Amino acid sequence: GDSVTQMEGPVTLSEEAFLTINCTYTATGYPSLFWYVQYPGEGLQLLLKATKADDKGSNKGFEATYRKETTSFHLEKGSVQVSDSAVYFCALNSGGSNYKLTFGKGTLLTVNP
Amino acid sequence: DTAVSQTPKYLVTQMGNDKSIKCEQNLGHDTMYWYKQDSKKFLKIMFSYNNKELIINETVPNRFSPKSPDKAHLNLHINSLELGDSAVYFCASSRTRGRANYGYTFGSGTRLTVV
């Protein structure tokens, strides 16, 4: 079945540091890949997505590239801010009739001033 | 303006009670979902409806029963609440075309505490 593996958190960085959160997946066919962010006390928001190999999703300074050969979709940001502190979820949808999103376990990011 | 709205936001209740959580979306999406988030933030799908038809029913106790009166609403009723039901429940919706899912929009969650 489908699965998503994210790096274990928590991740603690200083402001303006470089961020990488690793995500690898197992899926049938050619899944669509997503990153969601959950700020404290809130629901999940779609951060970025990619629907085919070599696509790069980007939003708010975050980027992730769909790498089919390594089955990866790592999240990066060049300079994090305190306001980026949140839980980040990698997810996939492998198509099919149930439209199910399979989530990773989430990575807590804390950015200190 | 709220795209996916859930009520109530907080729910504290005693074991054995029956409660409902309501969800409405105004995005014109055709598919709605219920997810459960445990204390470790792990998200697990419970149910999904596409055009009012149940298409996902994961291994969930039959004390949980979803109801979709129309495409814009998906409610969750829980009978005989147990301590282990304490969690945050998220409603979500998505637009689909064929076999493709264009990503979810989530509600802000309902924090259920069973005492």
Query: pLDDT tens digits, residue range A62-97?
Result: 999 999 999 999 999 999 999 999 999 999 988 765
CB pairs below 8 Å between A and B: how many? 61
- B105 CB neighbours in chain A (<8 A) are 46
pLDDT value at residue B101? 67
pLDDT higher at B55 or B72 = B72
Cβ of A95 and B96 within 8 Å? Answer: no
Whole-angstrom CA distances from A74 to A50, A62, B44 are 12, 10, 22
d(C-alpha A73, C-alpha A25), whole Å:
8
Instruction: Say which of A45, A89, A99 has its CB closest to residue B43.
Output: A89
Cβ of A106 and B41 within 8 Å? Answer: yes
Cβ of A44 and B104 within 8 Å? Answer: yes
pLDDT value at residue A63? 98
Q: Does B30 touch chain A (CB under 8 A)?
A: no
Nearest-neighbour CA in chain A from B41: distance (Å): 7
pLDDT higher at A34 or A100 = A34
pLDDT band (50, 70, 90) for residue B82: very high
pLDDT higher at A30 or B88 = B88
Please compute the mean of the pLDDT values over residues B74-88 and round it to a whole number.
96
Q: B55, A97 in Cβ contact below 8 A? A: yes
Mean pLDDT value across chain A: 92
- B96 CB neighbours in chain A (<8 A) are 99
Phi, psi of A54 (to 5 degrees): 75, -5
Nearest residue of A to residue B34, measured between CA atoms: A100
pLDDT value at residue B103? 76
Mention every residue, 6+ apart, whose C-beta is less than 8 A from residue B74: B23, B32, B33, B34, B47, B49, B66, B67, B68, B91
Residue B80 pLDDT > 80:
yes
Please compute the mean of the pLDDT values over residues A44-60 and round it to a whole number.
94
Q: A71, A24 in Cβ contact below 8 A? A: yes
- Percentage of chain A beyond pLDDT 90 is 76
Q: Does B56 touch chain A (CB under 8 A)?
A: yes
pLDDT digits (tens, 9 = 90+) for B2-36: 699 999 999 999 999 999 999 999 999 989 999 99
pLDDT value at residue A94? 80
Residue B113 pLDDT > 70:
yes
Chain A, residues 60-89, CB within 8 A of chain B, namely 87, 89
Nearest-neighbour CA in chain B from A57: distance (Å): 13
Residue A16 pLDDT > 70:
yes
Q: B97, A93 in Cβ contact below 8 A? A: no
pLDDT value at residue A18? 98
